[in-house]
Amino acid sequence: MALLEVDDIHVFYGNIEALRGLSIQVDGGEMVAVLGSNGAGKTTTLRTLSGLERARAGSVRFDDQDITRTAAHEIVGRGLCQVPEGRRIFTTLTVAENLALGGYLMRNRQQELRQRRDVVYETFPRLAERRGQLAGTLSGGEQQMLAIGRALMTQPRLITLDEPSLGLSPLLARAILKIVRRFADEGVAVLVVEQNARQALAVADRAYVLETGRIVLEGAASDLAADERVQKAYLGGFEQIVEEEEGREKEKEKEDPSPLGGG
């Protein structure tokens, strides 16, 4: 039995069927990517797992329990935490205050809270340096670190991320995906939704391709990266590759040796 088992879910917005019988699985310690173009249903998938949208049919099981109709806050408490699209941090609160809110479930256990915060600061030294700074004054990459850090505060067993690299430079996008890869290696399962297919496939164990609310392709990340259909649809042609390479060159010129801070 996998840690997460999504079986044939159907999710509607009014009479628009956004998910049409979607099934995915994530094992403990696994990093799984979901690829798909705009409007495919990626966000809806993550929101449904978190209890923010409801499946009209089908089921979501987490850690051997049915959570299809479980309240969102309770799902977080059971160890499934989402880093939402667009980060959603509190811009008028400090870094430390944002993290404390992430740990609200342990608000009565100060020692545990401090321990979790130390783990987050070890993971993202840049956040430790900026702990007293208002979140709204952080760079895009630092805000994404904070959004991920806030999720880590809940001590998740599965962390889901909705386009964490959106709006970040290729360098920072890679750094973020690599650190998320490390979570999986340390036993926290990861389900990441990405439009940045090339980078996601480079670090994930497995991947699914989502098209109009259904999984149309799945397999080992390395197999999908080599798949002609995936290359055509998601890895771009010559022009996109040239563009990415150009971006990489530009970044090399101003390369920050440690984009996540510290060291």
Ligand X SMILES: Nc1ncnc2c1ncn2[C@@H]1O[C@H](COP(=O)(O)OP(=O)(O)O)[C@@H](O)[C@H]1O
Stretch that binds Mg ion, among 28-36, 39-47, 120-128, 173-181 (CB under 5 A): 39-47
39 is a contact residue toward ligand X (CB under 6 A): yes
Handedness of CA 239, 33, 41, 247 (dihedral sign): negative
Give yes or no for a contact between 155 and 133, defined as CB atoms under 8 angstroms apart. Answer: no
Q: State the helix-helix crossing angle for 95-102 and 110-123, rounded to 10 degrees.
A: 120
Rounded to whole angstroms, how far apart are CA atoms 226 and 230? 8
Query: In the sheet where 214-220 sits, what is the strand order?
Result: 80-83, 158-162, 189-194, 31-35, 206-211, 214-220
**Among Mg ion, ligand X, none, what does residue 44 contact (CB within 5–8 Å per kind)?**
ligand X
43 is a contact residue toward Mg ion (CB under 5 A): yes
* CB nearer Mg ion, residue 51 or residue 164: 164
Tell me how far, at minimum, the Cβ of 177 lies from Mg ion, in Å: 17
Rounded to whole angstroms, how far apart are CA atoms 83 and 240? 28
- Side-chain half-sphere CA neighbours of 63 within 13 A: 12
Tell me how far, at minimum, the Cβ of 172 lies from ligand X, in Å: 21
* CB nearer ligand X, residue 97 or residue 211: 211
155 is a contact residue toward Mg ion (CB under 5 A): no
- Which position among 42, 117, 130, 157 is part of the footprint of ligand X (CB under 6 A)? 42
Binding mask 141-160 for ligand X (x = CB under 6 A): --------------------
Largest CA distance in the chain: 55
Stretch that binds Mg ion, among 38-46, 176-184, 241-249, 255-263 (CB under 5 A): 38-46
Tell me how far, at minimum, the Cβ of 126 lies from ligand X, in Å: 28
134: DSSP letter: B
Site for ligand X in 4-23 (CB under 6 A): 13, 16, 18
* Residues contacting residue 242 through CB under 8 Å, at least 6 positions apart: none
Tell me how far, at minimum, the Cβ of 165 lies from Mg ion, in Å: 13
Stretch that binds ligand X, among 39-47, 145-153, 214-222, 254-262 (CB under 6 A): 39-47
Kindly list the residues in this chain that would bind ligand X in the complex (CB under 6 A). Answer: 13, 16, 18, 36, 38-44
